[in-house]
Chain A
Amino acid sequence: SQELEQSPQSLIVQEGKNLTINCTSSKTLYGLYWYKQKYGEGLIFLMMLQKGGEEKSHEKITAKLDEKKQQSSLHITASQPSHAGIYLCGADTNAGKSTFGDGTTLTVKP
């Protein structure tokens, strides 16, 4: 089965600092999604990547999918307290099911 490994598991940064979260797959990704979750709430869709080398940005968040389509990174520039939460990557497997990473908990200190 396809496994998604996220790193780091948790991250504490000072407000204004940049940070990167990684998501690595054991198999080729056919669609990689990034979501943000506030504790005890649902997931908010951030971005979807499908093509090797693809890069998307939304406000201060940029996500990339490598050429081999096995690793994605989420980069936040000049982090703010509003960026705090749990970031999860998810992917569709070729078996028609979805799989998610265990999440990265981000804390931004003011």
Chain B
Amino acid sequence: DGGITQSPKYLFRKEGQNVTLSCEQNLNHDAMYWYRQDPGQGLRLIYYSQIVNDFQKGDIAEGYSVSREKKESFPLTVTSAQKNPTAFYLCASSPLRGLEAFFGQGTRLTVV
């Protein structure tokens, strides 16, 4: 079955450490996105990519980095520069920008 998979579902990180969240899709979608969701709030765009080897900053890119070496994969690294990384992270993909997105199940990151 086609879909978008995020792993792990829960992640704990010590302060000062970098951590990478995985996002894989087998929907053959060109566009992929990373969002951050905080309690009681909507989604905020971190980074997005419309094509392999290219990506754009979203509204809250500081402290994060991404890569898009393959169409299927769009990993997100939360660096130690991110001041408040504890949040729920959602990855999504869509055939083209502007069409409905398919979301993964999310990764809950907690800094301890």
Contact = CB atoms under 8 A, between A and B. Distances in A.
A92 B96 CA distance: 12
Given A4-B42, A40-B88, A92 B97 contact: yes
Given A33-B100, A92-B98, A98-B33, A42 B43 contact: no
Interface stretch (A14-22, A57-65, A76-84, A100-108): A100-108
Interface in A9-53: 9, 30-31, 33, 35, 40-45, 48
Interface in A71-90: 88, 90
Interface in B77-112: 88, 90, 92, 97-106, 108
Interface in B49-103: 56, 58-59, 88, 90, 92, 97-103
22 contacts: A6-B42, A9-B40, A33-B101, A40-B106, A40-B108, A42-B104, A42-B106, A43-B43, A43-B92, A44-B103, A45-B101, A88-B43, A92-B97, A96-B97, A97-B48, A98-B33, A98-B43, A98-B45, A99-B45, A100-B44, A101-B42, A102-B42
